[in-house]
């Protein structure tokens, strides 16, 4: 098993999350299944919920959408980071 840098997984997840590609850090971390589930589920939910909220808030949600992507990317990135740290401890 090759070494995977936890910080790079965190960085990929945060940057990917900002641009709507949540799950890239998990794929890098060696959890491709989980990463693909996050990626597809996030695309579906992000757009469905985002469009609905944009309609119901008369477009205000569009200004909060990037913050949502950043926050979710940071949270998911943290868990990918911790996952790789635990693997390295073994």
Any domain includes 21:
yes
DSSP label at residue 60: T
Is 25 a member of any domain? yes
In a domain, 1, yes or no: no
Structural domain tally of the chain?
Answer: 1
pLDDT tens by residue, 15-59: 999 999 999 999 999 999 999 999 999 999 988 988 898 899 988
Q: Which whole-number Å values give the CA distances from 83 to 31, 57, 61, 87, in the listed order? A: 10, 37, 32, 6
pLDDT score recorded for residue 1: 59
Q: Is 59 domain-assigned?
A: yes
Span 1-23, average pLDDT: 92
* Three-state DSSP state, 14: helix
Average pLDDT score over the chain: 92
Q: Which domain holds residue 43?
A: 6-89
Residue 82 is predicted with a pLDDT of: 96
């Amino acid at each position: 098993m090759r070494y995977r840098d936890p910080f790079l997984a965190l960085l990929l997840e945060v940057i990917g999350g900002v641009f709507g590609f949540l799950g890239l850090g998990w794929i890098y971390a060696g959890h491709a299944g989980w990463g693909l589930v996050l990626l597809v589920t996030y695309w579906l939910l992000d757009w469905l919920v985002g469009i609905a909220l944009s309609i119901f808030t008369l477009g205000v949600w569009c200004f909060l959408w990037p913050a949502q992507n950043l926050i979710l990317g940071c949270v998911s990135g943290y868990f990918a980071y911790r996952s790789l740290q635990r693997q390295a401890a073994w």
